[in-house]
Chain A
Amino acid sequence: KQEVTQIPAALSVPEGENLVLNCSFTDSAIYNLQWFRQDPGKGLTSLLLIQSSQREQTSGRLNASLDKSSGRSTLYIAASQPGDSATYLCAVFTSGTYKYIFGTGTRLKVLA
């Protein structure tokens, strides 16, 4: 059974720092992995999707990598800003199940 873990659960950094959020999964048979952002009381916004055949994806200050064999993904945020403060969730779309399994998220606070 696929399990997704995100570490750390919470993170507080000063503005301008580069930071890394981690996501690990137990079953490497996945179609893709998706990173989402969730603001308090809101829905999820898709940030990046990495297909199982890809190693990384970039969008602006965000870079996500995928190492399927080790069951890990990282989300790198460059030059963090207070507006980046939110909860970041990763989800894996597991082969043969047609559904996403979500991690519990990392709550990020960027201090001005």
Chain B
Amino acid sequence: DGGITQSPKYLFRKEGQNVTLSCEQNLNHDAMYWYRQDPGQGLRLIYYSQIVNDFQKGDIAEGYSVSREKKESFPLTVTSAQKNPTAFYLCASSIFGVGVAKNIQYFGAGTRLSVL
């Protein structure tokens, strides 16, 4: 089955701890994205990557870090610098090769992060 897999589904972070959220896709998509969703708010972009070994900050990158060593994988680390990490995190991917106007984003099932 093709798709985007996020793990874990639920994650708990202790004070001062870094945690890493996994995102893997087997759609052969070039671009990958990380969003944060808070109750009653739309999705806000944290980081995105258009190609391997390259990524750009989104609108709320402070306290987060990413890597893109493989096309299939785009892990997100929530660092201790992120003071309000409790949220629902969504990973997405898309293909640019068909023309940017046809760029459909496909989403994973999400990871819910809570602070202990």
Contact = CB atoms under 8 A, between A and B. Distances in A.
Contacts of B33: 99-100
A99 B112 contact: no
A4 B45 CA distance: 14
B42 A4 contact: yes
Nearest to A9: B40
Taking chain B's interface residues, is the majority helix, strand, or loop, or is none over half, making it mixed? strand
A100 B100 CA distance: 12
Interface in A71-95: 89, 91, 93
A32 B33 CA distance: 17
B104 A31 contact: no
Contact of A31 (B40, B88, B103, B108): B103
A41 B110 contact: yes
Given A32-B101, A32-B102, A99 B107 contact: no
Contact of A100 (B4, B41, B102, B105): B105
A74 B42 CA distance: 18
A49 B43 contact: no
Contact of A46 (B45, B106, B108): B106
Given A41-B110, A43-B90, A99-B58, A104 B104 contact: no
A104 B107 contact: no
28 contacts: A32-B102, A34-B104, A34-B105, A41-B88, A41-B110, A44-B43, A44-B90, A44-B92, A44-B105, A44-B107, A46-B104, A46-B106, A49-B102, A49-B104, A52-B101, A89-B42, A89-B43, A91-B105, A93-B103, A98-B100, A99-B45, A99-B48, A100-B105, A102-B35, A102-B42, A103-B42, A104-B40, A104-B42
